[in-house]
Each structure stands twice: as structure tokens, then as C-alpha cells.
Structure 1
């Protein structure tokens, strides 16, 4: 809107068409990929691999986001919402919960790979209870942290919505200092801190590869770990960095703090692209599983997947093999506890 409250010409035309097209493209591969990932990870649950708990939760977050896309596609094609304000707000809220849950679990996967690699003897206990608690805490934190998104769009006058939802929801007027504080906290906690953690894990793993006293098996596992951590970092930057750059600008537009029509039009084009890149993460994550996890790829290629869950993988813990009783054997065995 401009200063007089009118919408600049064509401000929302691009975003609605673009959302409908991109969400349609994301829907099918995201649905198939994450259902397949959960099917394969069901087998991992019977093994002693701790990081799989985070991958399962990441797949659940991605799948939940994908399942909400049909309602979004329908709205952007029809430009009318007849399913009630409550469902509209829930779908709107779910989008951000799933996005930040994906960020949280990508960080957990990277940290888990890093800790198992750098401190194999300290983290060789393959019990999954702690990881389950971390996941539960993560979901609670993310759900609470994302509450401002729908709360800033709620209005006491439902007739004012006029069957509108998602991008057309009005934004409550918020004091400038409060809005800046909220955006700053959101950017620091939701993007900058997770990014720094992933980059730190990548940097330390790269340094560990340069150690001259590393065993050949150790080097192989370090390369695998670095491959996954770097892939998480690249996906993180591609999918989430554009959105967290455009988010403050879009908020300023919707709260009518930016009134110049040219600036509004540029932001109205950039923000939908950035938001769809964030949604694209739900399609990219299954690709990460396949190309960075040997076990995932090996099991997915088997005809007898259900019967092969216990095959070809050493148990975590103590081995009866005398060769595994040495420090080198325990190190290799601990590294097999990771993905």
C-alpha cells in the first residue's frame, strides 16, 4: 500500500501466480520423497544410529509442510478462502513452524555428525533417549517461537478478511522499536546462529582432515561427515538465506513502513521467490539423504528392504571380535554409529 492506503499497481499479481506455480511443482516430489524417506528410516529405527532420530523429525517437518500446500495452491488459484479463519491461521502458522523445524533439525544433524566424528569415544553410547528429548524440546521451542507470525495477522473483525488468507492477511500495526526488536531476535535465533553452528562444524571437520596422524578409516569417515555437513550448509544458504534477507523488508512493506511503489514492487517480487526457495527445502532434503548417506542409498536400492534392516551393520557398543577390542577397532566401531 502507498501512503493513502491504496495498493501499488500489480503489487500482488506476480506473487499469487508464482506461489501457485511453485507450490504445484514442489508438491509431488516433496510428498513422494519424504514418504519414501520415512519408510527407509523406519528400518534405521531398529538399528543403533542416533542421528536418524533427527532425520526422521526433519522428514516429518518437510512432509507436514508439503501436505499444507494443496490448500495454498487452491487459494492462490481461486483467490478466495471459504474454510474459515481458524484453518487459514493454522495453515499460515504451520508454514513457519515447519520451516524453522527444518532449520533446527538440519543443525542437529550437522552437530551430531561433528560430535561423533571428533569425539567418538565420548559419544559412542548409541542410546536414542537424549536425541528424542532434543527433538521434543526443539518442537516446543519452534512452536512457541513462531506464534508471533499468526498473532501479527489476527484481526478481531473477521469480516474484514473478506475470504482472504495467506499473503492477503492484514498485518497489525506494531510500534517501530518493538517490530525491529522482534525481527532482530528472529533473524539471530532463527538464521544467523544456526548458520554459524553449521559453518563451525564444517570448519572444524576440514581442519581434522589435515591432521597427519589420522588413520585411513578415520579419513574416510571424516570425508563422509564433511560431505553431509557441507551439503547441509549449502542447502541452508540456498533455501533459507534469501528468505531471511527478504523477511524484514516484506514486514516493512506489509506494515506500511515502506511506501515507495518501486521499492514495494521489487520486494513483492523478491519475497515470493525467497519464500518458495525455503519451501523447496522439503524436496531437497530427501536428495541429501540419498547422496550423502551410504546406508540410505544402499537400502533404497534393495528389493528386500524390510528383510535387510539388520544386515551388514555392526552393533554399537562392545564387540566380541578380538580385532574390535583395540583402540583402533573401537574408533571404527564408534564411527559406524553415525550416519
Structure 2
């Protein structure tokens, strides 16, 4: 995001960014690859999670929510690709620009919160099984949690819904979408500070810390009470989740903070680095199916069966033990 500073003219450095066709083409190619993987991977995941996986545990409900956000991003990517290939010219109007921008950021932050919810669910089930057992109507709680996450993200991103994010650049004959923002998009610097704090600290750093805490404790507990294969799957799951955070989400959020501060106070820019980080943040929609694979035993079983890789003696082909006593090892056998 660059800042127009309430002027109809942009500085030469900003104008040169929109004339860099090589970067625009590179970003478009990355989006195309992400789009193909997104639609295939998440299409299969949604079918398996909704129609082939039972029972619908809280983790499965969270995974369905995560898949839904990823598929919404996939449906928005063709518009972003067309925008990039047309030289940053947006022709679909301000409302569509605001809606697709909202889809991009909602996907990111709903994904972060959903990963945190999955980690908390596994932490309670494995590290605090007695607390987990006392929670009644866990499916209902998971559904309500998903709605609360969406409500929190949409309330924080409310300025994106109420602001015209398009900007005319007569020098280049183009209209940008969420690439040039007016400084008065928010009424004051304190409003900008609150907006950035909510996005970066509340929707990113706090969930990241909670997720890390949960998986560290899960691995520690499984190392004492579970088989080697169960522990290895838990470690792989933790590594995939942390990879998504560090590769997809961390660069974008930190660059957003640094770029906005530089632009508001020093009239400098990290726009192109931020633009690339936003592109790579979409990779989370390609990595999320790996989270399902390591987090849900039945998802692995159904996927292997669909791909004709399941063997009659495989450890993952054993039945779900619904009627055994509830303890840490049983929960790990069902969900790990």
C-alpha cells in the first residue's frame, strides 16, 4: 500500500512501481500456481471433510472452516491475476475492489485464528484431557467459535469495507485497487495505530504465541506417553503450522507495520516488498491440506483410500475407537 497524502499526484518512485511489468508478471505467475494448487487441494479436502469424514469432531469443524476460507481466496485470485496482467488497472469498480481485498485479508486472519483454535483443541485433548472431557457440546462450541472468529476479523477489517480503495492515476491512465490508500482513510493517526495494532498483534502475534505454546506442550506430552509414530506425526504437524506462520504470515504482517510507519512519518516506502509478501501469504491455502493430513487420522485414511494407497495392514487403517475409555493415549490414536 502506498499513500496518496490526499494528493491527486504520486511521487516518481511510486509511479515507477506501477510501470514495473516484470514484477507484475512474476506475481501473476505465482498467483496462477497458487490458484491451481488451491482449487485442487482444497476441493479434495472439502469433499473429504464434509462428506467422507465422521464423526465431525471440533478439529474437523475447524478444518472445514479453514478450507472454506481457502476456497474463497482461490475464487478471488483470478481477479487479482487479471488486475496484475492489465498493468494494475482495476475496471470492476470500488465495491468489487473492497470485497476482494476483504476476501484476501479475511482468508489470512481467519486462517491464523483457525490454526490457533485447532492447536488449542489438541492441547486440551492431549495435555489437559480431563478439562477437555468436561466441556459439553464440543461440536456446538466449535461452530460458535468459528462464527466468533469471523466476527472478530470482519470487525477489525471494517475500514476495508467502508472505504473506496480504488485510486485514479491519470499519468498512467490506470485505476489501482488497494495499491494506493488515502491518508484520510482513517480519521487520525490514533485510528491508524489501533487498526495496525489490531491486525498485527491481535490477529497475528497473539495467535502465533498461543499456537506455539500449545504444540510445544503437545509434543512434550506425547514424547512421554505415546508411540514414536504418533510423536513424529505431532512434530510434523507442528512444523507445518509453524512453517505457514513464518513463511506466509510473518513477512506480510511485519512489512505492513514497517511500511505504514515509514510512509506515514518518513515518506519512505517498502511497497514492493510488501506486495511480494502479500503474494506469498496466499501460499497458506496450498499448505493447509498438509495440516489436515497430520491433524486428522480419518482424513489420512480417507485420502489414502481415495488415492488407492491404503494397505490392509497399515497403521492408519484401524477403526476409530469411539467406545474406549477417554484418556490421553486414546485421544492421540483417534486424532494424531
* TM norm structure 2: 0.81
Structure 1 pair 149/208, CA: closer, same or farther in 2 (3 Å)? same
Alignment correspondent of 1:25: 33
CA shift, 1:162, in A, is 7.2
Task: Give how far 1:21 is off.
Answer: 2.1
In the alignment, which of 30, 34, 42 is matched to residue 50 of structure 2? Answer: 42
In the alignment, what sits opposite 2:319?
312
Displacement after TM superposition at 1:115 (Å): 1.0
Contact 2:97–2:165 (Cα < 8 Å) also in 1: no
Q: Counterpart in 2 of 1:11? A: 17
Aligned to 1:338: 335
| Distance apart, 1:102 and its partner CA | 0.7
- Looking at structure 1, the residues matched to 290 and 147 of structure 2 have their Cα atoms a distance apart, in angstroms, of 25
Q: Give the C-alpha shift of residue 273 in structure 1.
A: 1.9
Deviation, 1:205, is 2.5
* Match runs of 1:61-76 below 5 Å: 61-76=69-84
Structure 1 CA distance, aligned partners of 2:215 and 2:290?
A: 19
Please state how far the C-alpha of 1:237 moved relative to its aligned partner: 1.4
Name which structure has the greater RCO, CA cutoff 8 Å, separation 6+: 1
Aligned: 1:270 with 2:278: no
SS in 1 for 2:12: coil
Contact kept? 2:59, 2:121, Cα under 8 Å: yes
Distance in 2 between residues matched to 1:107 and 1:256, nearest whole Å? 32
1:289-308 correspondence runs (5 A) = 289-291=292-294, 293-303=296-306
In structure 1, distance between residues paired with 2:267 and 2:168: 26
CA gap of 1:292–1:332, structure 2 versus 1, over 3 A, is closer
Q: 1:337 to 1:44 in 2, by over 3 A?
A: farther
Q: What's the RMSD between the two structures over aligned residues?
A: 3.2
Output one character per residue of 1:281-318: Cα deviation in whole Å (capped at 9) or x when no partner: 1111113323554432321121499xxxx982122xxx
Which position in structure 1 is the counterpart of 2:151?
140
Specify the alignment match of 1:86 in structure 2.
Answer: 95
Give 1:36 shift. Answer: 0.5
Kindly state the Cα deviation for residue 280 of structure 1 after the two structures are TM-superposed.
Answer: 0.8
CA distance, structure 2, for counterparts of residue 89 and residue 195 of structure 1: 27
Shift in Å at residue 169 of structure 1?
4.0
Shift of 1:15: 4.9
Aligned: 1:203 with 2:205: no
Spell out, residue by residue over 1:148-199, the C-alpha distance to the aligned partner (whole angstroms, 9 max, x if none).
23445557x9999976242434323353343233322321101110111011
C-alpha change, 1:297 and 1:286, in structure 2 (3 Å) is same
State the 1:33 CA deviation: 0.6
- The DSSP-based 3-state class of the residue aligned with 2:62 is helix
Whole-Å Cα distance in 1 between the matches of residues 175 and 168 of structure 2? 10
CA drift at 1:88: 1.5
CA gap 1:17/1:312 in 2 versus in 1, 3 angstroms: same
Distance 1:210-1:88 versus aligned 2 partners, 3 A rule: closer
* Alpha-carbon distance in structure 2 between the residues aligned to 1:258 and 1:111: 41
Q: 2:284 matched to 1:281? A: yes
Question: Could you say if the C-alpha distance between residues 201 and 331 of structure 1 is closer, same or farther in structure 2, counting changes exceeding 3 Å?
Answer: closer
Q: Unpaired segments of 5 or more residues in structure 1?
A: none
